[in-house]
């Protein structure tokens, strides 16, 4: 469903309403909690609403039919002159289209475009133009203000006196703030504020030189609190959400609550730092009375805006108010839950699936039996422009015959779509070519392979990379030779990387020579991807190349090679892997120990016993696990010594390995693999440019 349709807007509006409404209910329930907690709730809600449009194309679809569907009209039939829209519908999840009779089409048109007006603009265009105009109006002040405030403060310089620098360093240390913060000079009587995403800054008025030490400390603590909490970033998210959902009142409410709660959260930081509530309230009043907010972007966080002052003063002077924010663990778990909820909500299809209706041009000339005894249907002034016909078998037709006819129609449709997309792969516009390639990859039909293989010679590198990835999705064995050529000779490293990934997906042993040759590629990421692909092939002929990769100059390539050799259970690689146990990089040594445990060769026992003394506790832990997997009695005494290791995980793994050696019952594998992700790069970036 396109966003730039009435239903697309409705879908996003309803989902954003659900998210923001739930955040409002939670924030009300936490009204006696800390401002930082409520700010977290609103931040996650705004981020979720902002992510919904992007996640719509990525999240898995699942249906929960809560809302009634509107009528849907889809037409499929023969059209002269190629593909063009021939029917209309209000956007809904695409129905399965059945063809009522088996015509012999010259070209197949699938209509999904809304009707165009006499002026040439359809509803989606008008709706998109209206939305874009609103978004630009909301975003323009942010951009203009950013430029103005940046130029102004660049001219006015900074506070460079030792007193300010010492105080700034002292407060930053007390807040455990690791980021460097600039202290800039603003206009006389301007409002203290924080701004900057990558290079944070605190801006103070010129007359701040006359402030008392207490006021300096209170103001700097408040503004550095914004920097520590990344409030500029959350406010940018709020402004982006306002621009995207400018038509949604709850988004503006959420942005307002974010402003309120972030200021109260920083007030709580000042009070927790030891400031008196009455004195701090007096500082705020004096700042609000004598200062004025300078021009700047909405994410330049002014300290004492008069519109927020009353509520803040009441909160500051309330002794029962909770001051401490959520813990890091609670914040992380809440954010993870919100991310999962956003993914599920983005994939939700709330529309009731409509009764499938279709019309074909063939139905206007053929009867229900497909012989042609019906007269052409001519639309009447009081009738729809397109007649609807339910695609149900006639009572006199055998069910098997109807199924065979349906299968033939699907094949005709598939062949026509593949042919049309294959033609689009040669379009003059590269974005069209890339989209056609992505669609061919999704079809998962072998007939798409020749067009995709031809696209590997496209002039545009991004098109070639997309074609390589699509061939991997297709798992087309016939494409191995073309992908091997791209891997060997393409000038762009990204294309070579995608070609290697695709060969790994196809998993044809005939790809081993090309992938082994790619282990000498000048680009480390290509070599890494080639090693990963060789491991995916599960072919013993890949072992020699992987052993050579254990000596690669790149750490991640060596890591990947060790893991792949373990997956192949390559006994001939034991000597090379034992040598890798002395690699300069701990991650490589850990992967080598893992691989030796997978191979389970007694020849590896002496080297693994030595690895129990490795400087890295993770290597020692993996070595203990591997010795337990091999089950050689020579490891008993070294593992008993490892029971006194300084690292708990190593001692636990040694105990488990000794249990394996002794052949005790119980849980055969309480800690099956101390390395939960032994594959350092299972899928680095298989799709360089997802379809739009």
Least confident range from 165-179, 608-622, 625-639: namely: 165-179
- DSSP per-residue letters across 395-436: TTS-HHHHHHHHHHHHHHHHHHHHHHHHHHTT-SSHHHHHHH
Confidence class for position 537, pLDDT limits 50, 70, 90: confident
- pLDDT for 626: 93
- Please state, in angstroms and rounded to a whole number, the distance separating the CA atoms of residues 100 and 393: 8
Q: Which two tokens stand for residue 95?
A: 């129905």
Q: Per-residue pLDDT averaged across 526-546, rounded?
A: 89
Give yes or no for residue 511 having a pLDDT over 80. yes
- pLDDT for 157: 66
- pLDDT for 67: 63
In tens, the pLDDT along 73-90 reads 333 333 344 433 333 434
Least confident range from 179-183, 346-350, 371-375, 578-582: namely: 371-375
Give yes or no for residue 528 having a pLDDT over 70. yes
- Please state, in angstroms and rounded to a whole number, the distance separating the CA atoms of residues 389 and 339: 43
Which distant-in-sequence residues (6+ apart) come within 8 Å of 192 by Cβ? 186, 202, 203, 204, 205, 208, 219, 222, 223, 287, 291, 302, 303, 304
Q: Per-residue pLDDT averaged across 394-413, rounded?
A: 51
In tens, the pLDDT along 295-338 reads 445 545 666 566 667 778 888 888 778 888 888 888 899 889 98
Please check whether residue 519 is in contact with residue 548, taking contact to mean a CB–CB distance below 8 angstroms: yes
Give yes or no for residue 608 having a pLDDT over 70. yes
Neighbours of 35 (CB within 10 A): 24
Query: Following CA atoms 517, 523, 526, 530 in sequence, which dihedral angle do they give, to the nearest 10 degrees?
Result: 40
Q: Per-residue pLDDT averaged across 125-149, rounded?
A: 80
In tens, the pLDDT along 348-399 reads 877 555 443 333 333 333 333 333 443 333 333 333 333 333 333 344 455 5
- Please state, in angstroms and rounded to a whole number, the distance separating the CA atoms of residues 673 and 87: 57
Which distant-in-sequence residues (6+ apart) come within 8 Å of 656 by Cβ? 624, 625, 628, 670, 671
Give yes or no for residue 175 having a pLDDT over 60. yes
Provide the 3-class DSSP secondary structure of residue 601.
coil
Higher pLDDT, 134 or 157: 134
Least confident range from 204-218, 219-233, 303-317, 418-432: namely: 303-317
Confidence class for position 550, pLDDT limits 50, 70, 90: very high
Please check whether residue 435 is in contact with residue 691, taking contact to mean a CB–CB distance below 8 angstroms: yes
């Amino acid at each position: 469903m396109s966003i730039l349709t009435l239903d697309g807007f409705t879908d996003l509006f309803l989902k954003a309403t659900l998210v923001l409404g739930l955040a409002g209910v939670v924030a009300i329930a936490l009204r006696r909690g800390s401002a930082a907690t409520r700010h977290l709730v609103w931040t996650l809600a705004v981020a979720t609403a902002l992510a919904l449009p992007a996640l719509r194309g990525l999240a898995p679809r699942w249906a929960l039919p809560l809302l009634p569907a509107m009528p849907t009209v889809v037409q499929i039939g023969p059209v002269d002159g190629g593909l063009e829209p021939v029917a209309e519908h209000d956007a809904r999840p695409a129905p399965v289209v059945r063809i009522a009779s088996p015509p012999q089409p010259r070209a197949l048109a699938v209509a999904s475009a809304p009707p165009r007006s006499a002026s040439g603009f359809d509803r989606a265009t008008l709706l998109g133009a209206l939305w874009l105009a609103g978004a630009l109006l909301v975003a323009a002040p942010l951009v203009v203000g950013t430029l103005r405030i940046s130029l102004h403060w660049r001219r006015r310089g900074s506070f460079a006196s030792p007193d300010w620098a010492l105080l700034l360093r002292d407060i930053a240390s007390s807040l455990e703030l690791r980021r460097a913060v600039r202290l800039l000079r603003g206009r006389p009587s301007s409002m203290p504020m924080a701004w900057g995403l990558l290079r944070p800054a605190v801006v103070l008025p010129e007359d701040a030189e006359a402030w008392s030490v207490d006021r300096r400390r209170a103001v700097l603590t408040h503004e550095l609190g914004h920097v520590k909490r990344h409030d500029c970033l959350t406010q940018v998210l709020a402004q982006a959400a306002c621009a995207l959902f400018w038509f949604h009142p709850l988004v503006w409410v959420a942005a307002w609550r974010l402003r309120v709660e972030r200021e109260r959260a920083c007030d709580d930081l000042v009070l927790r730092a030891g400031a008196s509530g009455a004195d701090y309230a007096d500082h705020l009043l004096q700042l609000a009375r004598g200062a004025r907010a300078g021009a700047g972007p909405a994410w330049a966080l002014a300290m004492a805006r008069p519109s927020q002052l009353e509520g803040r003063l009441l909160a500051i002077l309330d002794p029962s108010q909770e001051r401490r924010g959520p813990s890091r663990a609670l914040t992380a778990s809440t954010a993870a839950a919100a991310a999962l909820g956003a993914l599920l909500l983005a994939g939700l299809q709330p529309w009731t699936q409509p009764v499938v209706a279709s019309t074909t041009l063939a139905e206007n000339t053929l009867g229900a039996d497909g012989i042609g005894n019906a007269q052409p249907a001519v639309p009447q002034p009081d009738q729809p422009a397109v007649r609807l016909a339910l695609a149900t078998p006639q009572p006199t037709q055998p069910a098997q015959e109807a199924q065979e006819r349906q299968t033939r129609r699907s094949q005709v449709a598939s062949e026509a779509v593949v042919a049309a997309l294959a033609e689009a792969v040669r379009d003059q516009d590269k974005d069209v070519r890339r989209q056609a390639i992505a669609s061919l990859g999704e079809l998962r039909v072998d007939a798409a392979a020749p067009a995709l293989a031809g696209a590997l010679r496209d002039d545009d590198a991004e098109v070639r990379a997309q074609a390589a990835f699509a061939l991997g999705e297709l798992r087309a064995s016939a494409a191995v030779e073309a992908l091997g050529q791209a891997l060997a000779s393409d000038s762009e490293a990204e294309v070579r990387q995608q070609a290697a990934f695709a060969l790994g997906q196809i998993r044809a042993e005939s790809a081993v020579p090309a992938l082994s040759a790619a282990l000498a590629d000048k680009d480390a990421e290509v070599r890494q991807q080639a090693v990963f692909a060789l491991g995916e092939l599960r072919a013993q002929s890949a072992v020699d190349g992987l052993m050579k990769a254990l000596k690669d100059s790149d750490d991640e390539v060596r890591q990947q090679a060790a893991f792949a050799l373990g997956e192949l259970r390559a006994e001939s690689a034991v000597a090379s892997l034992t040598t890798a146990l002395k690699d300069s990089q701990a991650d490589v040594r850990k992967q080598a120990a893992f691989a030796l445990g997978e191979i389970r060769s007694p020849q590896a026992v002496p080297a693994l016993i030595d690895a129990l003394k490795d400087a890295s506790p993770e290597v020692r832990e993996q070595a203990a696990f591997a010795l337990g997997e091999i089950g050689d009695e020579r490891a008993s005494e070294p593992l008993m010594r490892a029971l006194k290791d300084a690292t708990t995980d190593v001692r636990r793994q040694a105990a488990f390995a000794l249990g394996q050696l002794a052949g005790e019952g119980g849980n055969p594998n309480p800690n099956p693999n101390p390395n939960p992700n032994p594959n350092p790069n299972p899928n680095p970036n298989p799709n360089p440019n997802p379809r739009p």
